[in-house]
Amino acid sequence: MITINPRQYKHIVFFTGAGMSAESGVPTYRGHGGIWNKYRWEEYACQEAFDADPEKVLKFHELRRAAVLACKPHVGHVTIAALEKKYSRITVVTQNIDGMHQRAGSRNVIELHGSLWRLRCHCDGTLEDMGEKYKSYRCDKCGNWLRPDIIWFGDALDQSVINEAVVTIRRCDLFVSIGTSGVVYPAAGFPRFAKENNARCIEINPEANDMSFIYDEAIRDAAGKALPELFLKSLEEN
């Protein structure tokens, strides 16, 4: 069994995908029980769908908000948050929009694909909105539909967020990827930046995928089991 002493690293990045939240009960996107097996993203997760029927898309996102609020962060999320508290210089770069890392106590979180807990409007930027139902579907300033602040299919990513993630990953010396299928770019290409810095790269995922070759070590186990095993010893030390 591998164990890691975080003191040996100057900057650690945890790079997470939907598999990170799977043991909390949040469905993944692909594979068994995946959201995109049940719902066509063309109807619920792209700008065209929103333009055609904003209310339907907002209601779909309310269903997702309710599903996520019914779930709790698991021991893997808590382990990462505890490491940040103890060692600092730890960044979470996540593709997840569910806010689970923050609920577990992580503060240094870069959200690549936006957040279920934010809306935006052309007239006034973004607004936080936590809860099952949105407080309003309409902007109280201009009256237009509010749009979930999420990167949907076909959307460009926020370049400033990408830059921040790339700069952080380029300087890390330990890169731990957890629960991502490595198919959605540009995030899927991020492990390469860590490799270019000669970072030690570890993958935690019960299943291998097309990006697995890039990692130095693979832990074919669930996040909630692998993360505490990797770090518990260091968290128990004073």
205 binds ligand APR (CB under 6 A): yes
Best CA proximity match to 26, nearest among 60, 74, 58, 59? 74
Active site residue 32: no
113 binds ligand APR (CB under 6 A): yes
28 binds ligand APR (CB under 6 A): yes
Query: Stretches 14-22, 60-68, 82-90, 192-200: which one binds ligand APR (CB under 6 A)?
Result: 14-22
Q: Counting beta carbons within 10 angstroms of the beta carbon of residue 141, is it exposed (0 to 12), middle (13 to 18) or buried (19 or more)?
A: exposed
C-beta of 119 vs 223, nearer to ligand APR? 223
21 binds ligand APR (CB under 6 A): no
Distance CA(50)–CA(44), nearest Å, equals 7
Min CB(70)–ligand APR separation in Å: 18
180 binds ligand APR (CB under 6 A): yes
C-beta of 139 vs 150, nearer to ligand APR? 150
Query: Stretches 24-32, 49-57, 63-71, 128-136: which one binds ligand APR (CB under 6 A)?
Result: 24-32
51, 140, 207, 216: which one binds ligand APR (CB under 6 A): 207
Catalytic residue among 74, 101, 113, 122: 113
12, 13, 22, 90: which one binds ligand APR (CB under 6 A): 22
Strand order from edge to edge, sheet including 147-150: 125-128, 114-121, 147-150
Query: Stretches 64-72, 131-139, 189-197, 200-208: which one binds ligand APR (CB under 6 A)?
Result: 200-208
209 binds ligand APR (CB under 6 A): yes
Q: Which residues are catalytic?
A: 113
